């Protein structure tokens, strides 16, 4: 089955618009980062490799069949398999965003964070959008082992932090994935701002009350 033209056209335009918004606000740089959207047919659209998120051409996005075969567009991101692993483990997800957002990357390099949950629950909005954030051990960008390590965590976690690299976040929609990635970045910034201060994160009880109502 092929997606209706209007759904695919809208998804292509949305990827380019979100990419530009992210790039223009300095949330990723150069040709770093990649974005994908899964259509209702199971086909996926992904950003091409070596493309600036700030200057994406909707017509040149890489296209994959529901079976994961590259069927059109430019050469896909080297993280195509990682995006596919996220979708495979998360049937409810319709989009994946990966950025090199500075504060998130900085936190991914710290040696003294909890690898099961890298950032404390500083605000309710962070718990709503991101929740618990596991750290995926370092593997080179584009490596099959990196995608497999993400897949191992993806069923439980829609958001993961790649060590010495950056965040990967899935969402029901592209807007959900974008907003969660931005919230992660802002919380990473707060966390670094507060390092050395005596902080009072949300309690486990407060966190659980928010998690009960969160749907990702």
Instruction: Count residues binding ligand LB5GJZVW (CB under 6 A).
Output: 12
155 is catalytic: no
Contact between 32 and ligand LB5GJZVW by CB under 6 A: the answer reads: yes
Q: How far apart are CA 116 and CA 133, in angstroms?
A: 7
Contact stretch for ligand LB5GJZVW (CB under 6 A) within 2-10, 75-83, 115-123, 199-207: 75-83
How many other CB atoms are there within 10 angstroms of residue 110's CB atom? Answer: 14
Backbone angles phi, psi at 209, to 5 degrees: -60, -35
Contact stretch for ligand LB5GJZVW (CB under 6 A) within 26-34, 35-43, 65-73, 193-201: 26-34
CA atoms within 13 A on the CB side of 149: 19
* Closest residue by Cα to residue 20 from 51, 41, 60, 66: 51
Contact stretch for ligand LB5GJZVW (CB under 6 A) within 14-22, 29-37, 60-68, 207-215: 29-37
Q: Which is nearer to ligand LB5GJZVW, 77 or 93 (CB)?
A: 77
* Closest residue by Cα to residue 134 from 103, 169, 101: 169
Residues 135, 118 contacting (CB under 8 angstroms)? yes
Instruction: Among 10, 20, 78, 132, indicate the residue that binds ligand LB5GJZVW (CB under 6 A).
Output: 78
Per DSSP, the residues of 100-119 read: --HHHHHHHH-TTS-TTS-S
* Residues from 135 through 174 that contact ligand LB5GJZVW (CB under 6 A): 141
Contact between 52 and ligand LB5GJZVW by CB under 6 A: the answer reads: no
- Applying CB under 6 A, the residues found at the interface with ligand LB5GJZVW are 31-34, 49-50, 77-79, 98, 100, 141
Catalytic residues: 79, 125
């Amino acid at each position: 089955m092929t997606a209706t033209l209007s759904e695919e056209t809208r998804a292509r335009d949305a990827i380019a618009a979100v990419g530009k918004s992210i790039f223009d606000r300095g949330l990723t740089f150069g040709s770093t980062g990649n974005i994908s959207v899964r259509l209702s047919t199971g086909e996926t659209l992904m950003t091409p490799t070596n493309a600036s998120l700030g200057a994406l051409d909707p017509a040149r996005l890489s296209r994959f069949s529901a079976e994961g075969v590259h069927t059109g567009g430019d050469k896909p991101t080297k993280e195509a398999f990682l995006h596919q692993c996220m979708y495979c483990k998360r049937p409810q997800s319709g989009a994946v965003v990966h950025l090199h957002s500075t504060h998130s990357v900085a936190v991914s390099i710290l040696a003294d964070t909890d690898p099961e949950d890298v950032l404390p629950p500083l605000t309710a909005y962070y718990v709503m959008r991101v929740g618990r954030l596991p750290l995926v051990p370092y593997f080179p960008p584009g490596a099959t082992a990196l995608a497999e390590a993400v897949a191992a965590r993806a069923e439980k976690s829609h958001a993961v932090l790649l060590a010495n690299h950056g965040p990967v976040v899935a969402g029901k929609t592209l807007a959900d994935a974008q907003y969660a990635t931005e919230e992660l970045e802002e919380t990473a910034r707060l966390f670094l701002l507060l390092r050395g201060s005596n902080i009072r994160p949300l309690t486990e009880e407060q966190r659980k009350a928010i998690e009960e109502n969160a749907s990702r």
